[in-house]
Amino acid sequence: MKRVTHNKKGGVKTRMAPSPTGKLHIGGLRTALYNYLFAKQKGGEFWLRIEDTDRTRFVPGATEEIFAMLKWAGLKWDGDPAVQSKRLEIYQKYAPELIKSGQAYYCFCTSEELEKMRGEQQAKKMAPKYDGRCRHLPTAKIKQKLSKNLPHVIRLKVPENKTVEFDDGVYGKIKYNSDDVDDQVLLKSDGYPTYHLAVVVDDHEMGVTHVLRGEEWLPSTPKHILLYQAFGWQPPIYCHLPNILGANKKKLSKREGDASAEDFKNKGYLPEALINYIALLGWNPGTKQEIFSMEELVKQFDIKKLHKSGAIFDLKKLDNINGQYIRKLKSKELINFCRPYLTEVYGDALQNYSDEYVASVVTLEQERLKKLSDITASTQLFFTDNLEYDAKLLIWKKSDKTAMSDNLTIIKQKLADMGEWDKPNLEKEILQFIKDKKLTNGEALWPLRVALSGQENSPGPFEIAAILGKQESLRRIKAAVDKL
C-alpha cells in the first residue's frame, strides 16, 4: 500500500486532537506533551486539531481554554489548529467515495428500528451490533429512498471474517477479527461525520505519521485500520498511552476535581514542574535523573521506553519536583508568582505592607513551599496584627507560666536595647544572652518563637523577628506576656 502523504516535508508529524468537551485533563496534557516531544526530537511537527463534531458534548470556551493551557505548559504547536466542524465538506466528499467503491452503504434504519434490534440482541444475550440489514438494499430502492429525502447515514461495509492487524508502539502486535467490528456509521444523518471517519480523513489529509493517544482509543483502532484499508491509504503508526491512575488505581477522571491541568496551575504548580512530572508518568529515562528541562526531555524521551501499565499519579512526587523548581526561582519571580495568592486572601490589607516586607516574607518561605498557593497558609503570621493562639502553647515542655513569662520579659528587654536589627545579629546576641542567663535554648526560644508566630510550627524566631521589625516584635512579646 502506498503512503499517500500530504506531509510535504515527509518528516514526522504528530498531532493532539482534543474534543472541546471541558477542561484539559492531565492525561490530555500528557498526550500533548508526548506528541510534542516525539515530533521535536525527530525534527518534525506537532499539530493541533479540534474534534468538535459531537455537538451534544460541545462546551463553549473549551477550545480557547485548551489552547491557553497548552501555551502555559510551553507546548507550542505548528501551524493553525484544524477545526473539524469547519471541514464538513471534506468528510461529505470522502464518505460517498466509499459507497462508489462498494465499501460503504446507505442505511435508512430509524432510531426505533435500531432500538428494537438492540433489544432483541440483548434478549438473546448477543453483543449489540448493527445486523447489516441495509447492506443489501437493491439499488432502485436506495434511489427511491434518497429521492424522497429519507433520513439516512453512511455505514462502513466491514469485510467478513478478516484479520485486522496492527503494530502498536506500546502494546505490540494487536489482532482483531473483523466480525467483532460493527458496520460503523461514518456520516450521520445531519451531515456530520462520526469521530471514526473524521479522525481517519484528517490524519490522512494532514499527513500525520504517528498517533500517540490514550489507551481508551485502542478498541477503536481496528475500525480506523479498516477505514484506511477501504480508502487505500497507509495508516499512521499508533502508540496507545496507558491511563493515568488515581491512588485507588482507577483511571484519574475529570470528575476527580483535581485532574484538570488548570487546577494544577491554579494551585501554583509551575508549568516546567508539571511538565517534568507528567513526562515521567508513563515513561522512564532508565536513569536516576528526575529533573528534566523541556530541552532535555526532547533529547531523552524515548517512545520505546513507554510503559504498558497505568502510571499512578503521585501528588507527593509532584510536590517534591515543584518545590525544587520553586527553589530555583529568582526572588523577583517568586514574589510576582505569589502576589496573586496573597492578594486573594489578604485583599486590600496587603497594601499596608511595603513591597520589601512582602518580599522578605515570600523569600523566607521559598525553601518550604511545595506549591505557590501554600504561601497564604504559611505566611498568615506576617499579615496580621492580632495573633490568636492558646497561652498554653507558649509553655515549653515541663516549664510553667511564670518561668515563661519571666524569660520573655528579660528577652524583650534585651531586644529593646538592641541596635542592629537583622537575623545574624539577633541570633548572635540572643543566643549569647541565653547563655549568660544560664537558660536552655528550649525554655527561651520556644516561648519567643510562639510569641512571634502564634504557631506550633513556624520558621525560627530570629527569622520572624527580623522580618516583623523591632516594634512589632516587641508588641507581640508583650502580648504574650500579658496572655501568660
Query: Which residues make up each annotated binding site?
Result: 107, 109, 134, 136, 254
Min CB(80)–ligand GLU separation in Å: 18
50 vs 480, beta carbon nearer ligand GLU = 50
81 is a contact residue toward ligand GLU (CB under 6 A): no
199 vs 261, beta carbon nearer ligand GLU = 199
- Scanning 16-24, 98-106, 404-412, 419-427 for contacts with ligand GLU by CB under 6 A, the matching segment is 16-24
Min CB(331)–ligand GLU separation in Å: 41
* Annotated catalytic residue, options 254, 317, 423, 470: 254
Whether 143 sits among the annotated catalytic residues: the reply is no
- In three-state form (DSSP H/G/I as H, E/B as E, the rest C), the secondary structure along the chain is CCCCCCCCCCCCEEEECCCCCCCCEHHHHHHHHHHHHHHHHCCCEEEEEECCCCHHHCCCCHHHHHHHHHHHCCCCCCCCCEEHHHCHHHHHHHHHHHHHCCCEEEECCCHHHHHHHHHHHHHCCCCCCCCCCCCCCCHHHHHHHHHCCCCCEEEECCCCCCEEEEEECCCEEEEEEHHHCCCCEEECCCCCECHHHHHHHHHHHHCCCEEEEEHHHHHHHHHHHHHHHHHCCCCCEEEEECCEECCCCCECCCCCHHHEHHHHHHHCCCHHHHHHHHHCCCECCCCCCCCCCHHHHHHHCCHHHECCCCEECCHHHHHHHHHHHHHCCCHHHHHHHHHHHHHHHHHHHHHHCCHHHHHHHHHHHCCCCCCCCHHHHHHHHHCCCCCCCCHHHHCCCCCCHHHHHHHHHHHHHHHHHCCCCCHHHHHHHHHHHHHHCCCCHHHHHHHHHHHHHCCCCCCCHHHHHHHHCHHHHHHHHHHHHHHC
Residue 165: DSSP 8-state: E
User: Which residue in the set 185, 199, 241, 329 belongs to the binding site for ligand GLU (CB under 6 A)?
Assistant: 199
Min CB(311)–ligand GLU separation in Å: 18
217 is a contact residue toward ligand GLU (CB under 6 A): yes
User: Which residue in the set 12, 13, 14, 17 belongs to the binding site for ligand GLU (CB under 6 A)?
Assistant: 17
Q: Transcribe 36-62 into DSSP letters.
A: HHHHHHTT-EEEEEE----GGG--TTH
47 vs 106, beta carbon nearer ligand GLU = 47
197 is a contact residue toward ligand GLU (CB under 6 A): no
Distance CA 115, CA 122 (A): 10
The residue to which cell 479498516 is assigned: 226
Min CB(102)–ligand GLU separation in Å: 27
- Scanning 14-22, 228-236, 376-384, 387-395 for contacts with ligand GLU by CB under 6 A, the matching segment is 14-22
Q: Which of residues 297-316 bind ligand GLU (CB under 6 A)?
A: none
19 vs 360, beta carbon nearer ligand GLU = 19
Min CB(70)–ligand GLU separation in Å: 14
Query: Quick one: residue 469, left, alpha or beta (phi over 0 = left, psi -120 to 50 = alpha)?
Result: left
19 vs 103, beta carbon nearer ligand GLU = 19
- Scanning 17-25, 225-233, 260-268, 437-445 for contacts with ligand GLU by CB under 6 A, the matching segment is 17-25
Query: Quick one: residue 277, left, alpha or beta (phi over 0 = left, psi -120 to 50 = alpha)?
Result: alpha
Count how many residues are written for the chain: 484
129 vs 196, beta carbon nearer ligand GLU = 196
- Scanning 5-13, 15-23, 255-263, 332-340 for contacts with ligand GLU by CB under 6 A, the matching segment is 15-23
User: Which residue in the set 210, 213, 251, 412 belongs to the binding site for ligand GLU (CB under 6 A)?
Assistant: 213
Residue 286 β-bridge partners = none
476 is a contact residue toward ligand GLU (CB under 6 A): no
18 is a contact residue toward ligand GLU (CB under 6 A): yes
Residue positions in the annotated binding site for Zn(2+)?
107, 109, 134, 136
51 vs 374, beta carbon nearer ligand GLU = 51
51 vs 183, beta carbon nearer ligand GLU = 51
Min CB(204)–ligand GLU separation in Å: 13
Beta strands 82-83 and 104-107 are unpaired
Convert residues 19-48 into a mask of x (bound to ligand GLU by CB under 6 A) and - (unbound).
Answer: x-----------------------------
Min CB(47)–ligand GLU separation in Å: 12
Min CB(19)–ligand GLU separation in Å: 4
Size of interface with ligand GLU, in residues (CB under 6 A): 7
Residue positions in the annotated binding site for ATP?
254
Q: Which of residues 50-79 bind ligand GLU (CB under 6 A)?
A: 51
Distance CA 318, CA 338 (A): 19
Binding site for ligand GLU (CB under 6 A): 17-19, 51, 199, 213, 217
Please give the positions annotated as active site.
254
